[in-house]
């Protein structure tokens, strides 16, 4: 029975390819793209194609969208020889690459995470507003597993955290001997690597962050219905106060979709003796348009880009503390109707509305909820021509037109 195991990751590097959403033979997106990352046999049996989101040099080990592991023929041979009963290798066609390539689908799961030996563990709670997730892992770092709970498996996924693909030491060694590209490994067995003092600090930090999250969740629940269908994957790192980026989406009583940042008011990571409210603000974008898969929609991508700029540059936050702010962000992937000739999309931040609270409180202090409204290119040009005081006039025209703070992919401009 193997005793040493490793979490297998994709080694992301500049110049290498990035694989997109799995497609069927007619190049339609698969309805259940998660089926290759849950530790069960895949149910789709037709031809699968993988588009390239970014052109570049191929890896032997890569992740397509939804964490789908993709391997070269050389790496597929390693798994066929060492763990034939633990995986299925599903042929795929990768655009502009001859291959062959395969989806590596692990077939086994085990409840094996040792939460006490893991460095940091957090769980979903009832206050998060998603009953189906209560008690499940929300995040984990420094993972450790109990090898006695996985039998003789050499490839599997922890049932508590199926996003991790675990391989045995002999598979790791075989991959390294074969010179496999694109893979990196993190030990999930052996003595815990965390420092007891640092772990105590981590738990204090997690408690402060948890208090803020619960307080915001209470506000979000008052604004609309949250559902697992609206889940937006978080991002670890970046310039947010807690160094993790979260978003929450909810459906308003009138059917509109509201997406908010959920962490710009997180406590600062380096302050542990008291709760803080981070930047003291959160951003919100609301649209009456149907969005389909919310996490892939243009309002979510627009909010992500605006939030990054606000978090990165203090001068923007200072300006917002005094009133509204217009700004531009990258227009790649945005609706063409919103994109300026320079390839940008403009927004107006801080327009007040009676349908959303302008402020609310969390343990660390007061938080302002600032609306983000997408502008039509003609409205941006008008703002730039008019200069000082133009934003107030534009807001008045939005209100007169019945548009208010809502964002749309297309509408008639309120200026000429």
The band of 201, judged by pLDDT with boundaries at 50, 70 and 90, is: confident
Highest mean pLDDT among 20-29, 93-102, 146-155: 146-155
User: What range does the domain containing 72 cover?
Assistant: 5-187
Helix, strand, or coil here: 263? Answer: coil
Instruction: List the structure tokens of 106.
Output: 């692990």
**Tokens linked to 20:** 């997109």
The predicted pLDDT at position 96 comes to: 87
- Tokens in use for 73? 């023929």
Q: What is the pLDDT of residue 131?
A: 78
| Same domain, residue pair 254 and 361 | yes
Mean pLDDT of 1-5: 80
Q: Where are the beta strands (DSSP E) in 125-246?
A: 137-141, 155-158, 166-168, 183-187, 235-236, 244-245
Residue range 35-56: mean pLDDT, rounded: 90
Q: Are residues 378 and 269 in the same domain?
A: yes
Q: Judge if 250 and 382 occupy the same domain.
A: yes
Residue 154 within a domain: yes
112: Cβ–Cβ under 8 A, 6 or more apart, which residues? 145, 146, 147, 149, 150, 158, 159, 160
pLDDT of res. 1: 61
Question: How does residue 178 score in pLDDT terms, banded at 50, 70 and 90?
Answer: very high
Q: Please tell me the distance from the alpha carbon of residue 247 to that of residue 245, in angstroms, as a whole number.
A: 7
- Encode pLDDT of 368-415 as tens digits: 999 999 999 999 999 999 978 899 999 999 999 999 999 999 999 999
Quote the pLDDT of residue 29. Answer: 86
How far is 254 from 260, CA to CA, in rounded Å?
Answer: 17
**157 and 99 housed in the same domain:** yes
Average pLDDT over residues 257-264: 97
Examine the pLDDT at 169 and tell me if it is beyond 80.
Answer: yes
pLDDT of residue 310: 96
Task: Give the list of residues 6+ apart from residue 33 with CB closer than 8 angstroms, or none.
Answer: 21, 22, 65, 66, 68
Asked if residue 76 and residue 223 are part of one domain, the reply reads no
**Residue 286 counted as domain residue:** yes
Lowest mean pLDDT among 185-199, 205-219, 312-326: 185-199
Same domain, 169 and 252: no
pLDDT confidence tier of residue 41, bands split at 50, 70 and 90: very high
Q: Are 45 and 92 in contact (CB under 8 A)?
A: no
Q: Are residues 177 and 221 in the same domain?
A: no
Domain annotation covers residue 231? yes
pLDDT value of residue 127: 63
How far is residue 393 from each of residues 20, 215, 379, 382, measured CA to CA in Å?
43, 35, 11, 11
What is the average pLDDT value for the chain, to the nearest integer? Answer: 92
pLDDT for 233: 84
Residues 36 and 168 in one domain: yes
The DSSP secondary-structure symbol of 25 reads T
**DSSP conformation class of 30:** P
- Round to whole Å and give the CA distance between 114 and 277: 32
Do 22 and 133 lie in one domain? The reply is yes
Q: For residue range 207-252, what is the model confidence (pLDDT) as tens digits?
A: 898 899 999 999 999 999 998 889 888 887 789 998 889 999 999 9
Q: Which residue has the tokens 């009138």?
A: 254
410 occurs within a structural domain: no
Percent of the chain scoring above 90 in pLDDT: 70
Residue 138, pLDDT score: 84
Residue 87 lies in a domain: yes
Q: Which range is most confident: 59-68, 113-122, 364-373?
A: 364-373
Residue 410 DSSP code: S
Number of domains in the chain: 2
Using CA atoms, how far apart are residues 253 and 224, in angstroms rounded to an integer? 6
Q: Full-prediction pTM beyond 0.75? A: no
Same domain flag for 257 and 128: no
Pair 64, 116 in one domain: yes
Q: How far is CA 87 from CA 157, 196, 289, in A?
A: 11, 37, 42
Percent of the chain whose predicted confidence (pLDDT) is above 70: 98
Separation CA 312–CA 95 (nearest Å):
36
pLDDT for 244: 84
CA distance 93 to 324: 49
Residue 309 CA to residue 117 CA, distance in Å, equals: 37
Residues 6 or more apart whose Cβ sits within 8 Å of residue 301:
333, 334
Peptide bond into 392 cis (omega under 30): no
Residue 413 resides in a domain = no
In a domain, 169, yes or no: yes
- pLDDT of 247: 94
Confidence (pLDDT) at 129: 63
Q: Are residues 241 and 370 in the same domain?
A: yes
Tokens encoding 217: 């969740």
Residue 71 within any structural domain of the chain: yes
């Amino acid at each position: 029975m193997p005793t040493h195991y490793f979490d297998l990751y994709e080694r992301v590097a500049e110049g290498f390819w990035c694989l997109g959403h799995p497609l069927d033979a007619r190049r339609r997106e698969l309805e259940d793209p998660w089926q290759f990352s849950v530790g069960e046999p895949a149910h789709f049996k037709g031809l699968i194609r993988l588009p390239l989101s970014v052109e570049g040099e191929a890896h032997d080990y890569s992740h397509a969208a939804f964490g789908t592991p993709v391997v070269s023929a050389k790496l597929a041979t390693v798994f066929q020889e060492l763990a034939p009963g633990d995986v299925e290798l599903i042929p795929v066609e990768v655009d502009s690459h001859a291959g062959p390539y395969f989806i590596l689908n692990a077939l086994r799961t085990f409840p094996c995470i040792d939460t006490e030996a893991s460095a940091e563990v957090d769980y979903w709670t009832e206050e998060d507003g998603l009953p189906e997730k209560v008690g499940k892992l929300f995040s984990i770092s420094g993972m450790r597993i109990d090898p006695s709970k996985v039998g003789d498996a050499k490839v599997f996924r922890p049932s508590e955290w199926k996003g991790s693909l675990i391989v045995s030491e002999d598979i790791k060694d075989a991959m390294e001997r074969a010179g496999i590209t694109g893979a990196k490994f993190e030990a999930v067995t052996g003595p815990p690597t965390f420092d007891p003092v640092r772990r105590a600090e981590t738990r204090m930090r997690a408690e402060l962050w948890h208090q803020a999250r619960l307080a915001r969740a209470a506000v979000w629940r008052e604004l609309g219905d949250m559902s697992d269908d609206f889940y937006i994957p978080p991002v670890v790192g970046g310039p947010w106060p807690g160094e993790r980026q979260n978003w929450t989406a909810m459906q308003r009583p009138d059917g509109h979709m509201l997406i908010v940042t959920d962490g710009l008011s997180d406590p600062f990571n380096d302050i542990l003796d008291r709760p803080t409210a981070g930047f003291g603000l959160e951003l919100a974008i609301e649209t009456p348009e149907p969005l389909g898969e919310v996490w892939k929609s243009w309002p979510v991508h627009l909010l992500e880009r605006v939030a990054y700029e606000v978090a990165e540059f203090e001068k923007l936050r200072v300006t917002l503390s005094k009133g509204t702010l217009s700004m531009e962000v990258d227009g790649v992937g945005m609706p063409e109707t919103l994109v300026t000739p320079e390839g940008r999309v403009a927004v107006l931040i801080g327009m007040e509305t009676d349908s959303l609270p302008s402020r609310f409180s969390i343990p660390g202090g007061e938080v302002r909820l600032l609306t983000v409204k997408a502008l039509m290119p003609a409205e941006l040009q008008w703002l730039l021509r008019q200069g000082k005081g133009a934003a107030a006039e534009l807001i008045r025209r939005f209100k007169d037109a019945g548009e208010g703070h809502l964002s749309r992919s297309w509408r008639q401009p309120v200026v000429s």
